[in-house]
């Protein structure tokens, strides 16, 4: 295990230095000065380089291994996007430069908004939100503002129990009460229950399509119709958009508003937990409420428009996570219509192929067909005290990152696999072979080996209970 | 082009395994009549074509010598920072759900949290938030849940972008947002005392404030505490090399923007907010937190911890809805903060002050230019009042490839800042750049 920075600190010359070509007394009044001593480490550039390089090697990453983390769409991130995003003409731009000096950035944002409209069937997009959950909140605030404007008091949002945790927590933050809708045994929306819950108080229904079991919502058109007849807005959580790009548009299914995770479907890398970008798209009637500023094309050039009196306001300082936006712009330009459509097909093919190789021996609550990902329930095959988490940890020993486990909450001992389109058949075959060895062989013969996995990682199984009970959160 | 890898034979094998004849059959559950026959997106491009296109687009942006800040700053980024954040092992991993296979990211965040604590003299930092603006929002949410009241006093000298975001987040939640007026650019004790009462949830003060001025945080915090309200300090992390820290003046929560610590300006994003608090409020923090633990052999390791605060477990009752945050920028800040040493970091802050002060002195001695707020202490930004046309000044500066000061004339409803402009001078500006700015201003 790599030492901590404070442990490698010496009294050497630190890595960076600064000079000043101006000689001036700075004279800070003593009551405003820092009196405490600053405990920063002193480490040379070469030692720091080793430290952080070694740390990086303690990560499994998409660039080192198969990363079938369901719901996260860990597809290959084209390298050219990185190169472009590092270009100084994009990087060294201040957000408050005159519009005429940022036409390149504005053009990219404007065109990405248009491409996202074409892909989603929405009429307008904002690129301001910084991640999916931030997009959800933006969308819900737009919905709240809409009802306020048409003078209807609607206070609840319906969210299925299969939804991601950010959905209910965003709804709460937007000031709504959440009604949880129980799914049917195969993860679909229960239409009868939905009918019972729908009343004049329901502002929106938030759905993930395909749902978090990776299955298309078979009654989706009925659902959107029911909602619209009730004056309720349909919200689309775009985390699973990778399943349908170029095949069908959420807008055509009757969704009124949605967010997209650029760091999933549109190949911006996730950075170990962000930065992301969560653009929000709306149908025309919700456009007045989008965050300001809007970018408009006034024929000769692009300009900001702050004059939108019904807007929810700003949801983030400045305009959005531009480098992430740029990477997705590049991605769409690289692939084009054919590439995007083919990617969707291959993503769905890969997932179904994996599922086909596993479905005969393992419970699949969503059924034997899926879209871009699928969820298995290991409950009925777990033996000798092995749990799903143990299986996940054992996969690490074979060099794979583990699929998502224990989500969605509606499936017991769930394991959710999303191969994405950029994995080869060989990779999938090898992974399935190993997965089967673990659950059908090792679980019977060597269950202890699974239960105390991983064995080959930089650290062995870590104790999360101690960590939470006795938090040590800094050196 | 795309990044899929199968040939026809493989694809047919796979279809056979699935038990279908063609790719189309994969989508049978989707309403037939809605399946697209065309996607209205241009044809794909090769890498080379993309580069040519993007270089042409990039040319439409203008690179300027920046004397503008107001929340996003042109600071030097050491080569090491770029080297590390560009490592694909960091860049292409997800949130570290599988701890044993993510020790790189986890330890780096733990180090980041430690450095933020050391910098602010507070106890517990989270892994990062979207930006400085949403960090203030999260701090206010923490205070509302803790105090169970909804009256927030906010300095009007808080960055206006942040104020706008706060209003968006809170206007529908029946939170009482009361703005404190400045006196000569800063918040006076009496202004605060006039508004403080036992019902006050929290007081939000930025220092250096929007005008670059250093507030008297010690006394503002002292009075806030007298009323048992929480004190939320919004700080520029770089300034803490020199100025009094949130821990020293006993703030409950400190928040701010990490962009200046190793991330490029990038048009105001990607940003990265920090939030750090006292031990007693740790369980109320939003978002990811990394903790130290042991593995089954007793070796040290790191995990995401205190997760029962978070959306994936608590759902509607979570402390925040945040999931993806700004991990890679936090890594940049970590590498940035770890390379200066204590003295070097202090010197970096001092160089900012020295250069800003030099510029300030030169400008206010020019005809038609004066200091708006007298000789108050500032960090690397200051406000100048002028008798000249600010738009014209900026036009001329732009012609000389200089991004001039931000025009504050319309920034304040009651015309307090008429004819005022906000300059920023960081360590990046050389003496000769500053001197040519002065020369140009002389001629206007
Ligand atoms: C279904 C679903 N919804 C929402 C989110 C939240 O997105 P983000 O992490 O970008 O905030 C996720 C992310 O994991 C998700 O899988």
Q: What average pLDDT does the segment A171-190 reach?
A: 96
The alpha carbons of chain B give a radius of gyration, in whole angstroms, of 25
- Contacting residues for A66 by C-beta, under 8 A, at least 6 apart: A400, A401, A419, A423, A427, A431
Q: Which atom of ligand 1 is nearest to the CA of A134?
A: 11
From B34's Cα to the closest Cα of chain A, the distance in A is: 6
What separation, in Å, do the N-terminal and C-terminal C-alpha atoms of chain A show? 16
Q: Where are the beta strands (DSSP E) in A71-189?
A: 124-126, 156-160, 177-181
**Residue whose structure tokens are 């082009």:** B1
Q: Which atom of ligand 1 is nearest to the CA of A278?
A: 10
Torsion angles phi and psi, residue A113, rounded to 5: -55, -45
This model of the complex carries an ipTM of: 0.98
Q: Tell me how far the alpha carbon of residue A456 lies from the centroid of ligand 1, in angstroms.
A: 30
Contacts with A174 from chain B: Cβ below 8 Å: 172
A139 CB within 6 A, ligand 1: no
How many contacts, defined by CB atoms under 8 Å, are there between A and B?
670
Whether residue A36 and residue B121 make contact (CB cut-off 8 A), yes or no, is yes
Answer yes or no: is pLDDT of B413 > 80.
no
Beta strands at A202-208 and A156-160: parallel, antiparallel or unpaired? parallel
A432/B contact by beta carbon, under 8 A = no
Whether residue A96 and residue B68 make contact (CB cut-off 8 A), yes or no, is yes
Whether residue B54 and residue A330 make contact (CB cut-off 8 A), yes or no, is yes
- Picking from B104, B266, B320, the nearest residue to A323 by CB comes out as B266
A392/B contact by beta carbon, under 8 A = yes
CB atoms within 10 A of CB A121: 20
Fold for the domain defined by B65-74+342-443: 3.90.1150
Query: In chain B, where are the structural domains located?
Result: 3-58, 65-74+342-443, 79-337
Of the pLDDT bands very low, low, confident and very high (cuts 50, 70, 90), residue A1 is confident
- Convert the pLDDT of each residue in A399-450 to its tens digit: 999 999 999 999 999 999 999 999 999 999 999 999 999 999 999 999 999 9
Q: Tell me how far the alpha carbon of residue A422 lies from the centroid of ligand 1, in angstroms.
A: 21
DSSP H helices in A230-262:
250-253
The residue of B100, B263, B292 whose CB has the most chain A CBs within 10 angstroms, and thus the best one to mutate to test that interface, is: B100
User: Rounded to 5 degrees, what angle do the CA atoms B2, B7, B9 make?
Assistant: 155
- Convert the pLDDT of each residue in A111-135 to its tens digit: 999 999 999 999 999 999 999 999 9
- Convert the pLDDT of each residue in B227-286 to its tens digit: 999 999 999 999 999 999 999 999 999 999 999 999 999 999 999 999 999 999 999 999
Domains B65-74+342-443 and B79-337 agree in fold? no
CA-CA distance, B364 to B384, in Å (whole number)? 7
Look up the CATH architecture of domain B79-337. 3-Layer(aba) Sandwich (3.40)
**Residue whose structure tokens are 């954040």:** B85
A238 CB within 6 A, ligand 1: no
Q: What average pLDDT does the segment A148-170 reach?
A: 97
- The SS3 assignment for B393 reads helix
CA-CA distance, B34 to B49, in Å (whole number)? 33
Nearest CA in chain B to A313: B168
- A32 phi-psi bin (left φ>0, alpha ψ -120 to 50, beta other): alpha
Whether residue A468 and residue B305 make contact (CB cut-off 8 A), yes or no, is yes
Q: Which residues of A326-340 are buried (b: 16+ CB within 10 A; e: fewer)?
A: bbbbbbbbbbbbebb
The residue of A54, A172, A271 whose CB has the most chain B CBs within 10 angstroms, and thus the best one to mutate to test that interface, is: A271
CA-CA distance, A330 to A322, in Å (whole number)? 12
Whether residue A270 and residue B291 make contact (CB cut-off 8 A), yes or no, is no
Distances (CA, A) of A128 to A320, B49, B173: 4, 28, 22
Answer yes or no: is pLDDT of B414 > 70.
no
- Contacting residues for A340 by C-beta, under 8 A, at least 6 apart: A119, A245, A246, A332, B2, B39, B41
- Contacting residues for B253 by C-beta, under 8 A, at least 6 apart: B139, B142, B143, B230, B231, B232, B233, B246, B275, B276, B277, B278, B281
Going along chain A from its start, the domains and CATH numbers come out as 88-333 (3.40.640.10), 339-469 (3.90.1150.10)
Q: pTM for the full model?
A: 0.98
CA-CA distance, B113 to B102, in Å (whole number)? 17
Q: What average pLDDT does the segment B344-369 reach?
A: 98
Q: What pLDDT sits at residue B410?
A: 78
Atom 16 of ligand 1, nearest CA residue: A71
Contacts with B276 from chain A: Cβ below 8 Å: none
CA-CA distance, B255 to B276, in Å (whole number)? 6
Whether residue A165 and residue B318 make contact (CB cut-off 8 A), yes or no, is yes
Whether residue B23 and residue A263 make contact (CB cut-off 8 A), yes or no, is no
A242 CB within 6 A, ligand 1: no
**What letter does residue B152 receive in the DSSP assignment?**
E
């Amino acid at each position: 295990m790599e030492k901590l920075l404070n442990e490698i600190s010496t009294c050497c010359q630190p890595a960076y230095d600064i000079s000043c070509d101006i000689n001036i007394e700075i004279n800070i009044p003593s009551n405003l000065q820092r009196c405490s001593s600053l405990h920063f480490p002193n480490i040379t550039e070469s030692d720091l380089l080793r430290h952080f390089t070694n740390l990086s090697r303690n990560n499994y990453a998409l660039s080192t291994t198969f990363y079938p983390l369901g719901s996260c769409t860990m597809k290959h991130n084209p390298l050219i996007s990185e190169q472009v995003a590092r270009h100084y003409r994009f990087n060294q731009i201040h957000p408050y430069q005159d519009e005429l000096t940022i036409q390149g950035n504005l053009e990219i944002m404007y065109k990405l908004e248009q491409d996202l409209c074409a892909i989603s069937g929405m009429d307008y997009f904002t690129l301001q939100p910084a991640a999916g959950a931030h997009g959800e909140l933006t969308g819900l605030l737009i919905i709240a503002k809409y009802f306020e404007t048409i003078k209807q008091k609607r206070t609840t949002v319906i969210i299925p129990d299969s939804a991601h945790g950010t959905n209910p927590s965003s709804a709460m933050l937007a000031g709504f009460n959440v009604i949880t809708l129980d799914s049917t045994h195969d993860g679909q929306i229960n239409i009868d229950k939905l009918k019972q819950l729908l009343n004049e108080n329901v502002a929106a229904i938030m759905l993930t399509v395909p749902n978090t079991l990776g299955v298309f919502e078979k009654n989706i058109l009925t659902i959107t119709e029911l909602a619209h007849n009730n004056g309720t807005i349909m919200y689309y959580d775009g985390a699973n958009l990778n399943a349908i790009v170029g095949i069908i548009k959420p807008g055509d299914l009757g969704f009124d508003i949605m967010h997209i995770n650029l760091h999933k479907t549109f190949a911006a890398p996730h950075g170990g937990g962000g930065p992301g970008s969560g653009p929000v798209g709306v149908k025309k009637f919700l456009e007045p409420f989008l965050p300001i500023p809007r970018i408009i094309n006034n024929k000769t050039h692009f300009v900001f428009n702050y004059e939108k009196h019904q807007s929810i306001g700003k949801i983030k300082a400045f305009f959005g996570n531009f480098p992430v936006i740029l990477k997705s712009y590049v991605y769409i330009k690289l692939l084009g219509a054919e590439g995007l459509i083919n990617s969707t097909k291959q993503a769905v093919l890969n997932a179904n192929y994996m599922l086909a190789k596993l479905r005969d021996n393992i419970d699949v609550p969503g059924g034997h067909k899926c879209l871009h990902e699928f969820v298995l329930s290991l409950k009925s095959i777990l033996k000798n005290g092995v749990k799903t988490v143990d299986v996940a940890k054992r996969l690490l020993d074979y060099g794979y990152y583990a699929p998502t486990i224990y989500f969605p909450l509606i499936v017991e001992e769930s394991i959710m696999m999303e191969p994405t389109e950029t994995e080869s058949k060989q990779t999938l075959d090898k992974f399935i072979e190993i997965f089967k060895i673990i659950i059908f062989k090792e679980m019977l013969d060597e269950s202890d080996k699974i239960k105390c996995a991983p064995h080959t990682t930089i650290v062995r199984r870590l104790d999360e209970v101690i960590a939470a009970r006795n938090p040590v959160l800094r050196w | 082009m795309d990044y899929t890898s199968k040939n026809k034979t493989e694809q047919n094998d796979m279809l056979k395994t699935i038990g279908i004849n063609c790719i189309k059959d994969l989508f049978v559950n989707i309403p037939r009549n809605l399946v697209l026959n065309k996607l209205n997106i241009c044809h794909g491009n090769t890498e080379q074509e993309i580069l040519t296109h993007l270089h042409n687009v990039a040319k439409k942006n203008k690179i300027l010598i920046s004397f503008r800040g107001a929340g996003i700053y042109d600071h030097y980024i050491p080569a090491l920072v770029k080297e590390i954040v560009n490592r694909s092992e960091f860049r292409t991993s997800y949130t570290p759900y599988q701890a044993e296979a993510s020790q790189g990211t986890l330890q780096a965040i733990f180090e980041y949290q430690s450095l933020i604590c050391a910098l602010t003299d507070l106890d517990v930092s989270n892994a990062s938030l979207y930006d400085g603006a949403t960090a203030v929002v999260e701090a206010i949410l923490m205070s509302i849940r803790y105090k169970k009241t909804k009256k927030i006093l906010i300095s009007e000298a808080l960055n206006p972008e942040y104020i706008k975001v706060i209003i968006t987040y809170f206007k529908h939640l029946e939170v009482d947002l009361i703005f404190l007026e400045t006196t000569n650019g800063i918040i006076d004790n009496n202004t605060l005392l006039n508004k403080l009462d036992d019902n006050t949830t929290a007081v939000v003060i930025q220092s250096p404030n929007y005008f670059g001025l250093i507030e008297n945080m010690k006394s503002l915090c002292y009075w806030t505490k007298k009323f048992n309200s929480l004190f939320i300090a919004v700080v520029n992390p770089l300034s803490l090399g020199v100025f009094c820290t949130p821990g020293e003046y006993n703030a409950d929560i400190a928040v701010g923007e990490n962009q200046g610590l190793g991330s490029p300006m990038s048009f105001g994003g990607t940003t990265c907010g920090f939030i750090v608090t006292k031990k007693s409020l740790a369980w109320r923090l939003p978002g990811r937190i990394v903790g130290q633990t042991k593995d089954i052999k007793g070796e040290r390791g790191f995990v995401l911890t205190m997760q029962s605060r978070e959306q994936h477990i608590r759902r509607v009752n979570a402390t925040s809805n945040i999931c993806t945050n700004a991990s890679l920028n936090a890594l940049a800040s970590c590498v940035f903060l770890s390379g200066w040493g204590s003295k070097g970091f202090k010197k970096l802050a001092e160089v900012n002050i020295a250069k800003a002060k030099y510029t300030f002195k030169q400008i206010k001695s020019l005809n038609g230019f004066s200091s708006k707020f007298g000789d108050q202490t500032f960090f690397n930004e200051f406000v100048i009042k002028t008798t000249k046309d600010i738009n014209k000044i900026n036009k001329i500066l732009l012609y000389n490839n200089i991004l001039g000061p931000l025009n504050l004339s319309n920034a304040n409803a009651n015309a307090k800042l008429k004819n005022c402009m906000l300059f920023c001078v960081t360590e990046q500006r050389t003496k000769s750049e500053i001197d040519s700015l002065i020369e140009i201003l002389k001629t206007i």
